[in-house]
Amino acid sequence: MASEMTGILRLYRRQDAVFRAVTFLSAAIVVVVLAGMIVFLVHGALPALAAMGPSFFWTSDWDTVEDVYGALAPITGTLITATIAMVIGIPVSFGIAMFLTEICPVFLRRPIGTAIELLAGIPSVVFGIWGLFYLTPVLQEYVQPALIDTLGPLPIIGALFQGPPFGIGILDGGIVLAIMVLPYITSITRDVFMTVPPLLRESAYGMGCTTTEVVTKIVIPYCRVGLIGGVMLGLGRALGETMAVTFVIGNTYQISASLLAPGTTISAAIANEFNEAFEEQHLSALIALGLVLFLITFAVLALAKWMLLAIDKREGRR
Amino acid sequence: MSARVRRRSAVNIIVLSLSVATALMGLAFLALIGWTLVSRGLAAINIDLFTQETPPPGSRGGLANAIVGSAAMTGLAMLIATPVGVLAGTYLAEYGRDSRFGSVARFINDILLSAPSILVGLFVYGFTVLPMQHYSGWAGSIALSLIALPVIVRSTQDMIGLVPVPLREAAAALGAPEWRVMMSIVWRAAGSGMLTGVLLAAARISGETAPLLFTALNNQFWSTDLNAPMANLPVVIYRFALSPYDDWQQLAWGGAFLITFAILVLNILARLVSARSQLKV
């Protein structure tokens, strides 16, 4: 009887060990994927980086015939479109989050919140074709001429709004990205706003603060770190977004002071050229672009994650 | 004093109106995109769309091969990602909770969750298309599964974390081995939450284009061979929308409508499942 019991226990222990090992291996796959990605990108990028040297990062000639590759145009394109997306996306997202947490009647909160989240479900290629066929003509006919007329003559910032209104270009890409990151930043901002203890909020209202004052002086300072984390997460998305931008960016390797000019981004360049790249150096240069994108987004996302963890810790969550 | 109060309330009214305006703006974008899709997409929907192959420019056709290709690759990707994701999520929530490896893996998973999908495409190109010397449906499925994986890992991990400890202790006290406690008690309690995660992952990958560009590529003809390039809706939409041919653009809108509709259905299903779950998300 006793030996039968220990036999069963031994069997159980063996089964448990197998189960644990299987789950561990599955978790290890996650780590292996990231490691594999790094190895592939670094290995693939080496020929181009070796041939071009550090000038890969600060020259802007991208010539597949001469085999000269400078990544400055796509890198600046990526950074500028993401910046535009943030300049437009952050205030709008914060506005929506404030509406959802402070102003909106309770029975409308869920439906409106869900509607905004549905924007996140729309695939990037659909944003692309909508942007190209609907947003771009509106920008070209109304918005860009108005910008050229009003802001164009101003000193310094006027330089951003020069040239003919092409429609497609850096500004177009930035606006499409802003719409795309909106649901991400909004939903994190709303969740972070919700972490403010009701006691704090009510005390402020009790002192006679207006809603604006409660949000700007109590809510936002209380969850500063979480807000920055949410914004960085949105930024990570904007930096790496591919298809929507490829539709509306214009895909030309040029750096222009004007936001109205066509340009390119890292991801758009890869999406456009990778299938047609047969020369080893050209392929390698595109993979090197991918490596740059990886490094930028990894840094941004890691920082975002770290900041959001800080908020979770304070909340007592894991 | 009263001037100050007036100024404060004026500022308040301005800020509140701006906030309402931003919310209306967000809803307006959704409505605009939705309306465009319905008006352009419905016009493109007819029986040919589901029965004909993608045509050469200038002739009539449909998206049948792309619809089947997308469904096949998405389905296969979910078959790969779901078991791995659930097991990995279980490890991270249960066994690896306090270990160093566990916290590193959790961190990496969260990074992969928002990593650019085009990099996943490049990576999968590197270890499938390069050695095999041709594009394939398999490569596309693997790329999609790598995008779905972190979503499933994360939701499984969160849902398992919500299962009360006494439930596990009760099962263990009855003499159940650890794996039994996990599979019959914890997974069951967290089941509908985990299913929500799987549905959301499916929604996420069914619209992904960038990872398929260099893996599955595209195929103009009917093909169910996973070892050959495979047609799929997102890449067809991309190619056809940017073409100068009206027929092709029309098909692109039809495809965009189909894909967004499918994603909407998956999202609604996910919300229904999650609403019925005993553990609130």
Mutation site for A-interface testing, chosen from B27, B33, B117, B212 by largest number of A Cβ within 10 Å: B33
State ipTM: 0.92
Instruction: State whether A119 and B26 contact (CB < 8 Å).
Output: yes
3-state secondary structure of A187: helix
Interface of B with A in 26-55 (CB under 8 A): 26-27, 29-30, 32-33, 36-37
pTM assigned to the model: 0.93
Name the residue in chain A with its Cα closest to that of B15. Answer: A212
Q: Select from B27, B96, B177 the Cβ nearest to the Cβ of A27.
A: B96
| Residue pLDDT tens, chain A, 318 long | 567 778 888 999 999 999 999 999 999 999 999 999 999 999 999 999 999 999 999 998 998 888 899 999 999 999 999 999 999 999 999 999 999 999 999 999 999 999 998 999 999 999 999 999 999 999 999 999 999 999 988 888 888 998 889 899 999 999 999 999 999 999 999 999 999 999 999 999 999 999 999 999 999 999 988 899 899 999 999 999 999 999 999 999 989 889 999 999 999 999 999 988 888 899 999 999 999 999 999 999 999 888 888 777 776 654
User: In this predicted structure, what is the pLDDT of residue B281?
Assistant: 42
**Is the Cβ–Cβ distance between B129 and B195 less than 8 Å?**
no
* Burial environment of residue B162 by CB neighbours within 10 A (0 to 12, 13 to 18, 19 or more): middle
User: In this predicted structure, what is the pLDDT of residue A1?
Assistant: 55
Q: Render pLDDT for B141-188 as a digit per residue (tens, 0 to 9).
A: 999 999 999 999 999 999 999 999 999 999 999 989 999 999 999 999
B95 interaction partners in chain A (CB closer than 8 Å) = 20, 23-24
A239 Cβ under 8 Å from any chain B Cβ? yes
Mutation site for B-interface testing, chosen from A129, A136, A168, A298 by largest number of B Cβ within 10 Å: A129
Name the residue in chain A with its Cα closest to that of B13. Answer: A212
Residues whose CB falls within 8 Å of the CB of residue A235, separated by 6 or more in sequence, listed in order: A82, A85, A86, A181, A300, A304
Smallest CA–CA distance, residue A264 to chain B, in Å, is 15
User: In this predicted structure, what is the pLDDT of residue B278?
Assistant: 57
**Is the Cβ–Cβ distance between B116 and A242 less than 8 Å?**
yes
DSSP calls for chain B: -HHHHHHHHHHHHHHHHHHHHHHHHHHHHHHHHHHHHHHHHHHH-SHHHHHSPPPPTTS----HHHHHHHHHHHHHHHHHHHHHHHHHHHIIIIITSSSHHHHHHHHHHHHHHTS-HHHHHHHHIIIIIHHHTS--HHHHHHHHHHHHHHHHHHHHHHHHHHS-HHHHHHHHHTT--HHHIIIIIIHHHHHHHHHHHHHHHHHHHHT--HHHHTTT---SS----TTS----HHHHHHHHHTSS-HHHHHHHHHHHHHHHHHHHHHHHHHHHHHHH-SS--
As a whole number of Å, the CA-based R_g of chain A is 25
Q: Render pLDDT for A166-194 as a digit per residue (tens, 0 to 9).
A: 899 999 999 999 999 999 999 999 999 99
A250 Cβ under 8 Å from any chain B Cβ? no
A24 Cβ under 8 Å from any chain B Cβ? yes
B159 interaction partners in chain A (CB closer than 8 Å) = none
A102 interaction partners in chain B (CB closer than 8 Å) = 19
User: In this predicted structure, what is the pLDDT of residue B97?
Assistant: 86
**Is the Cβ–Cβ distance between B160 and B186 less than 8 Å?**
yes
Q: How far apart are CA B90 and CA B252, in angstroms?
A: 40
Q: Render pLDDT for B33-62 as a digit per residue (tens, 0 to 9).
A: 999 999 999 989 999 999 999 998 888 889
* Burial environment of residue A58 by CB neighbours within 10 A (0 to 12, 13 to 18, 19 or more): exposed
Per this entry, what is the length of chain A? 318
Name the residue in chain B with its Cα closest to that of A104. Answer: B20
Interface of A with B in 254-313 (CB under 8 A): 267, 270-271, 274-275, 287, 290, 293-294, 297-298, 301-302, 305
- CA atoms lying within 13 Å on the CB side of residue B66: 33
Of B36, B35, B32, B40, whose CA–CA distance to B250 is shortest?
A: B40
Q: Render pLDDT for A63-104 as a digit per residue (tens, 0 to 9).
A: 888 889 999 999 999 999 999 999 999 999 999 999 999 999
